[in-house]
């Protein structure tokens, strides 16, 4: 029995499976704790809105009953996932949110294999995956009917395909990912930066990724729109509408107490309350958008560490982490200045994978270095590592709905 137990513990996917099971159980316990749509769920999860007498129908109602998309500012694929949940499990919190739970679980597994594909040691991979799996922002989006977790998971798919040199498939999935939410294309610069500076990855076949991404996007928009509208239409018209409506949302004409510029996400820790409902103006408990406090506090050190590993040690994993951070976050700063486009703190969500990757690498290196040191050196380091982990979990406990009574 002992030998069998040790074999299970030493299996390379043991901790990944444990994390996946744990997060799914946590989601299931709170999935219907709030029985009305949360924040923007009202736009996607509902023909529930119609049943409550709301003047606006949710996209699910329009897609299922009227065969049209009433909110063309966002592409169709993520909405179709939510519709599939409603059609399968009913017009209730389970139907709205189960697709997000599935995609959030898939995202954790994809991230694990991205780390392994980047040749990260197993301990570093497990640590990085732990920080992603139990990050408050990731957990929150993996349990509500909004578009972001679908964008994040599909973005991780084309990351993984690129890392394994599947350039044709990677280009195709960039286009598919952009049909969940347009911001998914911000993952594309990550691939270009990594390809440009990582000589072993600099294959000329990367041109297929560049060429196929826009072609795939056009074809996917056309196909998914046809599923919704029951007819084929010119995808360029929908793309024009998406771009026009998205760029029209600026700081000059939108008012919201949670609006924030990208650089503010670095300078101040301002959680955004999500658990308000259009049907109830009162606080419903939990679902507060904020990255784990450990990742926020250590953000700059993590970035500096990955940059050092990139320059001094030619680490492909560290380079990918830096490219990920630049492509999904730093690029927001010039975009915000040039377009004045509104942004919220939860737009940082696609970037947390880069920080988790860097923190996992850093803690693994620290543990390896510490193993050869004396006990009096090990104790304060272990205390520091424990504080990082507990602070990360503490954010989840305090801000998520898991430990909050409705």
The 10s digit of each residue's pLDDT in 346-378 is 999 999 999 999 999 999 999 988 877 667 778
Q: Is the pLDDT of residue 55 over 90?
A: no
pLDDT tier at 212, thresholds 50, 70, 90: very high
Please tell me whether the overall predicted TM-score, pTM, comes out greater than 0.75 for this model.
yes
Q: How far is CA 395 from CA 21, 37, 102, 135, in A?
A: 20, 23, 23, 8
- Predicted local confidence at residue 48, as pLDDT: 47
Provide the pLDDT for residue 115. Answer: 97
The pLDDT assigned to 203 comes to: 87
What contacts 88, CB < 8 A, 6 or more positions away?
95, 98
Whether residue 288 contacts residue 140, with contact meaning beta carbons closer than 8 Å, is answered with yes
Phi, psi of 207 (to 5 degrees): -60, -30
The answer, yes or no, to whether residue 406 has pLDDT greater than 60, is no
Res. 131: pLDDT tops 70? yes
What pLDDT shows up at residue 54? 45
DSSP string covering 324-339, please?
HHIIIIITHHHHHHHH
Q: Alpha-carbon dihedral of residues 331, 333, 335, 339, nearest 10 degrees?
A: 180
Phi, psi angles (nearest 5°) of residue 231: -165, 155
pLDDT-based confidence at 47, cuts 50/70/90?
Answer: low
Residue 56 has a pLDDT of 53
Residue 44 has pLDDT above 70, yes or no: yes
Q: What mean pLDDT comes out for the span 265-276?
A: 82
Residue 35 confidence (pLDDT) above 50: yes
- Of residues 392 and 36, the one with the higher pLDDT is 392
């Amino acid at each position: 029995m002992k030998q069998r137990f040790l074999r299970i513990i030493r299996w390379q996917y043991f901790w990944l499976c444990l994390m996946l099971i744990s997060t799914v159980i946590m989601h299931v316990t709170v999935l219907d704790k709030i029985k009305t749509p949360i924040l923007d769920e009202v736009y996607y999860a509902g023909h529930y809105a119609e049943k409550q007498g709301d003047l606006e129908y949710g996209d699910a109602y329009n897609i299922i009953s009227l065969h049209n998309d009433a909110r063309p500012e966002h592409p169709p694929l993520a909405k179709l996932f939510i519709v599939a949940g409603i059609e399968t499990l009913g017009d209730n919190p389970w139907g709205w949110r189960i697709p997000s739970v599935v995609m959030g679980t898939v995202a954790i597994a994809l991230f694990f294999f991205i780390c392994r594909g980047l040749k990260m040691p197993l301990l570093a991979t497990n640590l990085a995956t732990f920080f992603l799996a139990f990050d408050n922002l990731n957990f929150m989006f993996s349990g509500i009917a909004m578009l972001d977790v679908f964008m994040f998971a599909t973005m991780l798919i084309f990351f993984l395909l690129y890392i394994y040199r599947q350039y044709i498939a990677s280009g195709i999935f960039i286009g598919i990912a952009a049909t969940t939410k347009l911001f998914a294309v911000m993952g594309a610069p990550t691939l270009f930066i990594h390809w440009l500076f990582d000589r072993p990855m600099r294959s000329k076949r990367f041109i297929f990724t560049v060429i196929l991404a826009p072609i795939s996007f056009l074809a996917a928009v056309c196909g998914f729109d046809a599923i919704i509208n029951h007819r084929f239409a010119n995808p360029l018209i929908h793309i024009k509408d998406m771009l026009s409506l998205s760029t029209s949302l600026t700081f000059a004409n939108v008012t919201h107490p949670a609006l924030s510029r990208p650089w503010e996400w670095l300078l101040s820790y301002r959680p955004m309350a999500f658990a308000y409902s259009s049907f109830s103006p009162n606080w419903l408990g939990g679902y507060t958008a904020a990255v784990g406090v450990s990742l926020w506090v250590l953000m700059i050190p993590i970035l500096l560490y990955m940059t050092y590993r990139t320059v001094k040690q030619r680490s492909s994993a560290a380079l990918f982490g830096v490219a990920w951070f630049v492509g999904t976050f730093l690029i927001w700063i010039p975009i915000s200045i040039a377009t004045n486009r509104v942004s919220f703190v939860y737009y940082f969500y696609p970037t947390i994978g880069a920080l988790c990757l860097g923190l996992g690498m850093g803690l693994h290196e620290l543990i390896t270095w510490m193993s050869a040191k004396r006990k009096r050196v090990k104790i304060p380091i272990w205390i520091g590592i424990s504080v990082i982990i507990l602070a990360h979990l503490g954010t989840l406990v305090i801000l998520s709905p898991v430990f909050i009574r409705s």
